Amino acid sequence: MTTRTLHMSIALDYLEEVTREDERAGKPQQFITGTDGRPLSYVAAFVHINELRAEGLDVFPPCRDTDATGRCRGHHE
């Protein structure tokens, strides 16, 4: 039997909303990280969200194998 693993994704609109709430509450931004694995600043996080939207994505891509909207296509095991 072949199995397939799917990564969950988060809508960019929701991610932006939660990130703005955390910023207003004075919490550190910790969800969106840079290539070095460290959290981006709030400004950089919002820029990244907008760049993803400009690419036509609806969700934050959870992996490298995604469809045109950013959702995981699935990984066969």
Chain segment 10-32, per-residue pLDDT in tens: 999 999 999 999 999 999 998 89
Band (48; pLDDT cuts 50, 70, 90): very high
Number of domains in the chain: 1
Whether the pLDDT of residue 3 is over 90: the answer is no
pTM summary value: 0.84
pLDDT value of residue 14 = 97
CA dihedral 16, 25, 23, 53 (to 10 degrees): 0
Q: How many residues does the chain have?
A: 77
**CA pair distance 58, 35, nearest whole angstrom:** 21
**Secondary structure E strands in the chain:** 4-5, 10-11, 59-60, 75-76
Domain containing residue 43: 4-76
